[in-house]
Structure 1
């Protein structure tokens, strides 16, 4: 993949979309960690905490990019991303479990640790979409993380107002997973490199993930209605 080629911007777009969809919870964590501090300290906490989170996230993703070059790990990562795409559609969030810190440095520590723990899905998704290009990782994170942090309220409101954003994000993650699966070396040796196979498998898996997610959510609604009756 050449720098600033159509494939480069396609991958960059996928990284930004996945970070925005998967990063909503992280934005809430940042707000909740600093909510009890004095107003004049909150902006500094968010700035320093976000800076530390970006640094750790970038380093972790760059490590993941190189780890995915180990034979078999890209395939395993692709399977895990398919599961993540499904869970994105069906998981209920529990951000209220994040406590507000009482001190300036305590809030920063809370933000960095929480982001590192909650950002594992982002790390794998971005590393897979980057196709081994560290520059893509840095570009994607530099674009998306500030949007998530400083526009967190808008991101959450947009997701709540337009629920279709979640399935779109799930589809992007699933396509990234398929890309990882079909570009694993032993898979290439079996089926070769075929855009038709890649996009065909992507369409099938996206449809399957969206269907299973819809069915699971419908089942949850029916069970909730039954319990409430």
Structure 2
């Protein structure tokens, strides 16, 4: 029994630490929706993310065999971070809410699935083969993501610079995935300093490029 609760506590801690990224993605994707759709996007986006993680956990052994998985996921997350930045201020009209809702949910689920790779591997290891513990840990993370998304959304509305802080966290997560990719691990081992250079370039490139594009769109709109 003690082993069971120790494993469950480990999974909850892992989900607490890693749920922050998910909450940021959900908030950033939902921020341009009309007010009456935001809560729905948060709830449905969280549900979609959890379902995808459960499916990924079930297939974790198969996922581990895919070469370049972390590299592909990291590059995809960089693109998502860039898109979320460049969509800053692009609000849809009331009539276009359904399309915007679909786009927001698509972004949330894809981003959370990509970021869930590390989470799934960590949780699967802590669960020691117990699917009940894995699912219990994921379910516990649901209210964390919903609450965190709501708080992050309020911060973004009050302090727009929060968008760039959130994007920076996503870029950092993406770069860590890329650096940890086993397929190219030997390269970083030979040139450890280069991994830091790549991470800095990625951070500056995505944040700087996203800021310039968003600024250009706002200037054109005004």
1:53-68 to 2 correspondences below 5 Å: 53=48, 55-62=50-57, 67=63
Q: CA RMSD in A?
A: 4.3
CA apart distance, 1:83: 0.9
Query: Does residue 87 of the first structure (1) align with residue 83 of the second (2)?
Result: yes
Q: From the superposition, tell whether residues 176 and 212 of structure 1 become closer, same or farther in structure 2 (CA, over 3 Å).
A: same
CA apart distance, 1:72: 1.8
Query: Does residue 142 of the first structure (1) align with residue 132 of the second (2)?
Result: no
| In 1: Cα distance, 2:156 partner to 2:30 partner | 14
| In 2: Cα distance, 1:217 partner to 1:202 partner | 22
Structure 2: tracts of 5 or more residues without a match? 1-6, 127-133
Richer in helix (by share): 2
CA displacement 1:171-218 (0-9 Å, x = unmatched)? 111112112212222311223277644333222211111110110011
Q: From the superposition, tell whether residues 10 and 80 of structure 1 become closer, same or farther in structure 2 (CA, over 3 Å).
A: same
TM-score by length of 1: 0.63
Kindly tell me the number of residue pairs found equivalent between the two proteins: 195
Q: From the superposition, tell whether residues 117 and 160 of structure 1 become closer, same or farther in structure 2 (CA, over 3 Å).
A: closer
Query: Does residue 132 of the first structure (1) align with residue 118 of the second (2)?
Result: no
- Equivalent residue for 1:19? 22
CA apart distance, 1:85: 1.4
1:11-50 to 2 correspondences below 5 Å: 13=17, 15-24=18-27, 25=29, 32=37
CA apart distance, 1:64: 7.6
Indicate if the aligned counterparts of 1:50 and 1:149 stay in contact, CA closer than 8 A: no
1:1-229 to 2 correspondences below 5 Å: 13=17, 15-24=18-27, 25=29, 32=37, 53=48, 55-62=50-57, 67=63, 69-91=65-87, 92=90, 94=92, 97=96, 118-127=108-117, 129-130=118-119, 132-134=121-123, 139=137, 142-143=140-141, 145-149=142-146, 153-192=150-189, 196-225=193-222
Q: From the superposition, tell whether residues 64 and 178 of structure 1 become closer, same or farther in structure 2 (CA, over 3 Å).
A: farther
Q: From the superposition, tell whether residues 68 and 150 of structure 1 become closer, same or farther in structure 2 (CA, over 3 Å).
A: same
Secondary structure at the aligned position of 1:23 is classed as helix
Q: From the superposition, tell whether residues 131 and 185 of structure 1 become closer, same or farther in structure 2 (CA, over 3 Å).
A: farther
| In 1: Cα distance, 2:169 partner to 2:59 partner | 19
CA displacement 1:54-84 (0-9 Å, x = unmatched)? 6514324536865265112221111111111
